[in-house]
Structure 1
Amino acid sequence: MPVSQHTIAGTVLTMPVHIRKADVHTAMFSVPADAAQRLVAYSGLQVCQFRPGRAVVNLMLARYIDGDLGKYHEFGTCVMVNPPGSDAHGLKALGDAAAFIHHLPVDQSFTLEAGRTIWGFPKIMADFNVRHASPFTFDVSEGGSLIAGIEFHGGLPIPSLRPRSRVLKTYTFSEGTTREVPWEMNNSGVRFRPGGATLRLGDHPYAKELASLGLPKRAMVSGSVAHVEMTFGDAHILR
C-alpha cells in the first residue's frame, strides 16, 4: 500500500502523523440532547444519549510539546456522537461513541493549515493564556474576545502498570463533507475526579454556542493526562 503524504507550508508530512509528547486537561458535561443535536445537525451525525434526553460534551485543552505538527495549544469542543447509522443509547453506547469536533482553536499557523487540509478539523487561530499554578487554569480567546476559561482542581491518580493504549476515531465536517479520522493514543499519568472543573464563558460566538447547551454548569467529571503520545491517520469520507 503506497505511503500517503501531504505538503503543508512547504513541509512534507508522511502519514500517520506522530505526536510524541503532549498533555491534556478535560472536563465532561451533561447537556440537553436536543440542544446538542441542533448544534451538530450540519454533520449528519446523531448525538449519543447516555441517558434519556442527555448528551455529553467534552471541553479539553491539549498542549502539544513535541510532534510532527510542532509545538502548540489546542482547545476542543467535542460532542459525543453515535457511529453513522446507529441510534444506540445508554452508558454502553457512550462507551462506543466517538467525538465530533465542533470547535478547535489553535495558536500556531502550521497545525491550523495541516488540520484543515488533511483532516477537515475546524481550526481557527486563537490566543491562549495558561497558568500552571494550582489550580491549573487556562483561557482561550480570539481577537480579544473570550471563548472560554476553565479552572481545574487536581484529580485522583488512576493506577496503571504500563501506559494505556487506545485506538479511537473522531468525526469532522468541512466544506460539506463529514469525515472519520482514525487515531491511536498511548497515555500515562492519568487523573480524574467528579466535578473538579469551573467553566467561564465570554462573549465570543463560540461561547454563545456553548451557552446554548446550558453551560456553564458543574462538570460531571474532569481530569488530566500528564503524558500522551498520538498518531493520526488519513481521514475517510463518510458523506
Structure 2
Amino acid sequence: MTVTHDILGETVSMPVDVRDGQSATVIFDVDVDAARALCPAGFEVVETAPGRAQFALALIDYKDNDLGAYLEVGTILFVRPQGGGEDGTFITHLPVTERFTCVAGNQIWGFPKSVESIELTNTDDTSRWVLTMDGELVVDVTVPRGGTDEMPPMPMAAYTLIDGRPHVTRFTQGGSGSGVHVGADVTLTLGDHPIAKELVSLGLSAESVVLTTWTERMQARFEEPSAL
C-alpha cells in the first residue's frame, strides 16, 4: 500500500524521489563538547577521535524533485541513538527557498525547514552559497566544484524528532560527476545571525575543513520515517 501525505492540497506519494540535482558537502573537524551542546535529547554525538567530532554543511540545488525545484542549506551533526544504534545524521537547521518543500519536510519527516534567502553562484570550478535569514548573513561559503566519479546509491539514515519522538528516515543518495576534494580552497564567512553564532561556537573556519564533496548530477530517494 502506497503511503501518501496531503501537503498544501497536493498529494505526495512515498518514497520521494530526487531525479536531478547538484550537491556539495563541507565536512569540518570540531570539538565534541561543542557539538554535544547542539545535540538533541535521545541522541549522542559520534566521536571521530578523542575529544573530536565532525559537522557538515550540505548545499543542494534540487532541479528535478517530487517536492519541486529549490535550494537548500543544511547544518548537520553526526549522531547515533543514545544507548547504541546506527550512525546517522541530525539536521539542526534546514533553510530552503520554497514554501511547498518547507511544509512537506516539516510535516512528513520532521526536518527543521524554513523558507529563507539563498543565493547560488556557480563558476566552472567553484560554487558559492550565501544564506541570509531575517536580513542578516548566516553563512557565505565557496567550495570547489567538479569530479568524474560515479557514486552508486548509498543507504543512509537521517534522525529527526516528530512531536518530540525520535524517528529515523532511510534514504539513498548517489549520482555522477562526483569528486572528493581534500586540501582544496574553501572560503567561509559567518555572519551575526543566531544560527551563525551557533556555527561560530563550533569553531567552523576554512582551516577546520576536513574535505568537501561535489556531485554534479545527484539522485536521491527518501522513505517514510519510522519511530524509534
Which TM-score band (shorter chain)? over 0.9
Q: Which of 179, 182, 188 is residue 199 of structure 1 equivalent to? A: 188
How high is the TM-score relative to the length of structure 1? 0.89
Cα deviation, residue 113, structure 1: 0.2
Query: Shift of the alpha carbon at 1:174?
Result: 4.2
Cα pair distance change 1:135/1:102, threshold 3 Å? same
Shifted more, 184-193 versus 12-21: the winner is 184-193
* Alignment match of 1:86 (pick from 84, 87, 98): 84
Name which of 84, 87, 90 aligns with 1:97. Answer: 87
In structure 2, the partner of 1:58 is: 56
What is the aligned partner in structure 2 of residue 213 from structure 1? 202
Q: In the aligned structure 2, how far is the partner of 1:111 from the partner of 1:76?
A: 14
SS, match of residue 24 in structure 2: strand
Q: Deviations over 1:4-28 (max 9, x none)?
A: 1100011101111111111101110
Instruction: Indicate whether 1:231 and 2:221 are aligned.
Output: yes
Structure with a larger share of its residues in strand: 2
**Deviates most, 118-127 or 216-225:** 216-225
Aligned AA (2:115):
M
Give the Cα–Cα distance (whole angstroms) in 2 for the partners of residues 73 and 122 of structure 1.
15
Gaps of 5+ in 2: none
The match for 1:72 is 70
Separation in 2 of the partners of 1:205 and 1:108?
Answer: 22
2:45 is equivalent to residue 47 of structure 1: yes
Relative to structure 1, the CA distance from residue 135 to residue 229 in structure 2 (aligned partners, 3 Å threshold; closer, same or farther) is closer
Looking at structure 1, the residues matched to 149 and 215 of structure 2 have their Cα atoms a distance apart, in angstroms, of 12
**Structure 1 counterpart of 2:33, one-letter code:** D
Secondary structure in structure 1 of the residue aligned to 2:6: strand
Distance of 2:163 and 2:195 partners within structure 1: 19
Rounded to whole Å, the distance in 1 between the matches of 2:115 and 2:170 is: 24
Aligned partners of 2:8, 2:26: CA distance in 1, in Å? 33
Q: Is 1:113 equivalent to 2:112 in the alignment? A: no
Residue 84 (structure 1) shift? 4.4
Aligned length: 225
- Alignment of 1:179 with 2:178, yes or no, is no
Corresponding residue for 2:129? 138
Segments of structure 1 that go 5 or more residues without pairing to the other structure are 88-95
The CA distance in 1 between the partners of 2:145 and 2:108, in whole Å, is: 35
1:170 — aligned with what? 158
Contact 1:158 1:192 in 2 (8 A): no
Deviation at 1:154, TM superposition (A): 4.1
TM-superposed deviation, 1:97? 2.5
> Per the alignment, in what secondary structure is the counterpart of residue 34 of structure 1?
helix
Local SS of the residue matching 2:48 = coil
Q: Say if 1:43 and 1:173, in contact at 8 Å, map to a contact too.
A: no
Q: Quick check: 2:144–2:214 contact (8 Å CA) kept in 1?
A: no
C-alpha distance in 2, partners of 1:153/1:22?
Answer: 16
